[in-house]
């Protein structure tokens, strides 16, 4: 019987070249946990690891079983993706690459938008997709897109609170909608989806709906309303435990509207 998400501690094949190992770190921000993707072309001995995940000995040991690891790539800096990176690099001897030089190890360079990486028999294109974080990247394969936290397998992602984050994020979604047509979506959290472009378009529609809700809230609360005031107005049907997280996205939305 084929495995389905979530399958903790088991390597689950999703496409001809991509399998996923789910870390046992579920939570309000990680959903079922962090997906570590292991990529290799048919017949290749080496693999590419995407996001080794949290500092979890059991999870990192499991990744090591599916090596040798030719290269490790990081989608963004958050600890549920990078907490185990140094231990993983030490155990596997793999170089690691990310947009942020802090997460580059070995004889490697930071990632560059549009570059094509050839490893483990695969051709992997780097696509910068800021919005969730400033250093977020996605990886384009022939039949799939690894979206990190830019697009999740269920629900919606939280935006960086910095000015310009929403404009960046909308541009990232538009880019994924263009590049991801007909390609499986392999997210860092939640289950895979059939078509990256379809999910990206749904995300774009959702963001514009939220903007309309924020505009309506400002008409009631006044143009200078604080982010948490808007959260309490717009997210009344959401668990209050998630309000501090929603505040980050609302802050980005307010900056977008006030620009």
Mean pLDDT, residues 25-51 taken together: 96
* Domain locations in the chain as residue ranges: 12-195
Using only C-alpha atoms, the chain has a radius of gyration, in whole angstroms, of 19
Would the pLDDT of 53 be above 90? yes
Please give the pLDDT value at position 125.
98
Confidence of residue 237 (pLDDT cuts 50, 70, 90): confident
Distance CA 172, CA 166 (A): 10
Q: Which CATH number fits domain 12-195: 3.60.15.10, 3.90.1150.10, 3.30.70.360, 1.10.240.10?
A: 3.60.15.10
Please give the pLDDT value at position 259.
82
pLDDT in tens, 4-23: 999 998 999 999 999 999 99
pLDDT in tens, 78-100: 999 999 999 999 999 999 999 99
pLDDT in tens, 122-172: 999 999 999 999 999 999 999 999 999 999 999 999 999 888 999 999 999
Please give the pLDDT value at position 42.
95
Confidence of residue 1 (pLDDT cuts 50, 70, 90): low
Distance CA 21, CA 38 (A): 8
The two tokens of residue 204 are 């774009």
Mean pLDDT, residues 221-245 taken together: 91
Would the pLDDT of 245 be above 90? no
Q: In angstroms, how far is CA 40 from the centroid of its own chain?
A: 20
For residue 182, which of 195, 201, 191, 200 has the smallest C-alpha distance? 195
For residue 200, which of 228, 170, 223 has the smallest C-alpha distance? 170
Relative orientation angle of helices 165-179 and 243-258, to the nearest 10 degrees: 90
For residue 233, which of 210, 252, 255 has the smallest C-alpha distance? 210
């Amino acid at each position: 019987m084929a495995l389905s998400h979530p399958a903790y501690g088991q390597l689950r094949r999703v496409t001809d070249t991509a399998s996923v190992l789910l870390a046992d770190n579920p939570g309000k921000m990680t959903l079922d946990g962090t997906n570590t993707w292991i990529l290799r072309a048919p017949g290749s001995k080496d693999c590419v690891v995407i996001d080794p995940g949290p500092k979890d000995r059991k999870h990192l040991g499991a990744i090591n079983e599916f090596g040798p690891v030719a290269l490790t790539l990081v989608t963004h800096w958050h600890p549920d993706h990078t907490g185990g990176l140094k231990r993983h690099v030490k155990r596997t001897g793999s170089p690691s690459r990310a947009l942020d030089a802090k997460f580059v190890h070995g004889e490697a360079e930071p990632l560059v938008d549009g570059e094509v990486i050839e490893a483990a028999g695969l051709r992997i294109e780097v696509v910068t997709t800021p919005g969730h974080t400033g250093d977020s990247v996605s990886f384009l394969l022939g039949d799939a897109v690894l979206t990190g936290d830019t697009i999740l397998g269920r629900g919606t992602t939280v935006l960086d609170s910095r000015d310009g984050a929403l404009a960046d994020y909308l541009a990232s979604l538009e880019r994924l909608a263009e590049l991801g047509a007909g390609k499986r979506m392999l997210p860092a959290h939640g289950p895979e989806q059939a078509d990256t472009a379809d999910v990206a378009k749904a995300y774009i529609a959702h963001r514009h709906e939220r903007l309309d809700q924020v505009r309506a809230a400002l008409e009631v609360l006044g143009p200078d309303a604080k982010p948490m005031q808007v959260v309490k107005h717009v997210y009344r049907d959401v668990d209050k435990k998630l309000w501090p997280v929603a505040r980050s996205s609302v802050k980005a939305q307010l900056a977008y509207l006030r620009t």
